[in-house]
Structures are given as C-alpha cells and as structure tokens.
Amino acid sequence: MNDEQLLAELGAELDRRADRLPPGRLTLADVQARAGAVRRRRRAAGALAVAAVAAAVLVPLGLTGQGGDRAVDPATSPRTGDAVLAGDTLRHPDGTTVTLPLDASQVSEVGVLTDGRVVVMATGARVVTVVEPDGTVQAEYPVALNDLTMGQGDDTVAWVDDEGTPQVLEAGQERPVAFVAVGFTSVPGGVAGTRVDAVLGTGCADGGCEVLAGPDDRSVTNTRLALERPSLVGGGHPMEVTDVSPDGRLWAGVLVPGPDEQFGCAVLYDPAADRVTARSCDTSNLEFSPDGAHVLGWRGDNNMVGEAVALDLDLREVRSVVPAPQEALSRVGWADSGGLLVVRTSYDGQDWRLSRLPLEGPAKEELIAGPVAGPNPELGTAYLLSE
C-alpha cells in the first residue's frame, strides 16, 4: 500500500468518525475572540532536571516589524484535531490534503495556521518554511532553533530567528511580526538565548499579541512580552508553560524540579488569580484538547513516549496509553475532542500504525492507517502529528 492509498484510508476513517462527534462547546466566534490553544509539542521528552530558575534581564520591548495583509482575507476555523504527515502528504482533520516540498523523514515539526498555510521545520536546516495551501513555498526564514510554537487556536505561530528575535506569523498576514529580543542571564557572566513557549491574543501588528518566553537553556517561562513593556509571569510558581486553554483562562505548565527530582510536576495555572488549580507529579508536557475540556500529558525519551495519559481539568486520569511489550509508542496527540491519535510500531520500525483511541467507552484503538514499514522509532516516525 503506497502513501496515497494510506492517506486516502486515513481521511475516510477520520471523516467517518468526525460525523459521529457531538457539536463542540466553542463556536468559531468564541475561538476567534479569545486566546486559543497553543499547539506545542515539547522540544525534549527526557528528564527536565533544572537546578535553578533563570533571572531575566528585561529590555524595553517594542515591535520591529509590521505584517502586511494578505491579498485575500482567509476564512479561519478553530482547531479540531492534529494534522498527520505521511510521506510528503499532509492530511488535515477535515480530510483535505496538501503535498509538501519535504517528506516526513526530513521534517522535525509541522504546524498549520487557520488560513491554511503550513509551517515546517526541517531537520538540521535551521530555516522555517511557510507553505501556501496549494503546496507552493511562500517564504523561508532563518531560525536559531528548530522549534515552532503554535498559538491562539492556530491563528499564530512563533519561532526565534537567527539573531535571537521572537517572530510571530499570524493567519491572514504576509510577514511575521518581530518582537525585540530579551537577554537572559543564566550563569554568572553568561547570557542565554530566547525561547518562545506560548503566544496569546491576535492582531499582532497592532500590539494585540503577547509572547510568553524564557531562556533557551532553562525549562522556565518567566517573561511576558508585550508592546508596552515586559513583565514577569508565574508569580510564586516557577514553571515552563506548555499550553494555553482555548478560552485563555488556564495555562498548562511544568514546575521547575527540585534538586532531587527528575521531573517537575504538571500543573494547571490560573494567571488572573496567580493560582495553581490542579497538580500532578505523574506526568508532564500537558496539552489541551480542542474543546479545552481535557489535557494530554506524557513523558519519554529517545524520540519515544513512555506513557501518555488524558486527564480532566482536575488532572484525574480519563484514559492512559502505554506501549505493548517490544513496541515503541512514538507519538500521541488529539484526533478530536473525544479521542486521541496514537502512533505505534515495533522496535525495528517495520509495522507503523496510526490509530484513534476514544476517551470514553472501551479502551480499544481503532486502526486508521498502516501497518507500513518506516524508520527506526528512535530516529523518526512514519506519521508525524502537527503541533
């Protein structure tokens, strides 16, 4: 079975399952009017051993670039689930596809804006490529890190350019908006680069966006970048922000580990009240579901997931995902608000499978695509999920 046949099969299965889903709680207007989910897969899946919280040296903030309007104002829609890249074909949750100029073996991260543009990070290329909905390349931008951060219900995407400046590209805008870089002191006499962890708001060219950032050598989010001035975030809860709820009221994060801790505890944090609303020390890397009613957490290393778990907003377990004996659990994401996408294979990578696992009912995975031969799971994946 070739990639085209696999993606056709995948699309048919996703379409059939989507037809059975109940309407979401959020309307399009709700999502566009509020800060949306930050689609962010973490850079490192291994130990988060951090001994100290970096102190930020704050510099005056302002925008150094303006984003021009695109010729046609796109119709945007809220995120309904992860897109899946197999070979060079990206299939969106609605079943439509686009052929990318790179295939999955060359891509480290991929994100999809609500105007249909696809933003791609290629392994080792140190550039971010913006691809039009028809598959043509719109632009390429140099980057300091191969790291994308999706924001505001996928209305924005951020990266750090090769000069250390946070850049935010917004749906409907031709060019990214640049925020002045912040210098972080991490060790005596040393300066760390900037890492973007989340983007809040829309209307970036008019000052409507805020960027949550931290030093790139520490797992902590400690600065909020805005037009007027930067400010500290987190209060008495030093953490790295991993996602923002669709209504913007909750941030998901990982607390900085203590001296004898390998992993920091996962938390849900209310920024308005400066209060942790829920906490779990059994998982990390929390990511909100499209409707904001659940979060997905996971830990792992060597490009694999040791265990993933779907939780309610009190961080109580709803559904867990674990690898079978002699099997690698490669990726877990959101198929939709009612189910997970699960990517598995044997250790030799000869039987990659993509399945959907419902949150409710029997814990039985429904095969969507595969099995197919692919890479060693420590080195790559046959099915790359969007950020």
Residue 98 contacts residue 137 (beta carbons within 8 Å): no
- Phi and psi, residue 78, nearest 5°: -65, 155
What integer best gives the mean pLDDT of the chain?
Answer: 77
Q: How much is the pLDDT for 286? A: 94
Q: What is the largest CA-CA distance in the chain?
A: 58
How many structural domains compose the chain? 1
pTM of the model: 0.74
Residue 374 has pLDDT above 70, yes or no: yes
Q: What is the pLDDT of residues 268-322, one digit of tens each?
A: 998 888 889 999 999 999 999 999 999 999 998 888 898 999 999 999 999 999 9
| Domain assignment of residue 286, given as a range | 3-385
β-sheet with 183-185: strand ranges across:
55-57, 183-185, 191-192
For residue 372, give Cα distances in angstroms to 1, 87, 274, 381: 8, 11, 48, 11
Dihedral angle at the C-alpha atoms of 251, 254, 255, 260, nearest 10 degrees? 170
What average pLDDT does this structure show over 138-148? Answer: 90
Residue 190 has pLDDT above 70, yes or no: no
Residue 188 has pLDDT above 60, yes or no: no
| Cβ within 8 Å of residue 69, ≥6 positions away | 172, 173, 174
Which CATH number fits the domain that encloses residue 74?
A: 2.130.10.10
Q: How much is the pLDDT for 330? A: 94
Q: How much is the pLDDT for 366? A: 95
Q: What is the pLDDT of residues 320-337, one digit of tens each?
A: 999 999 999 999 999 999
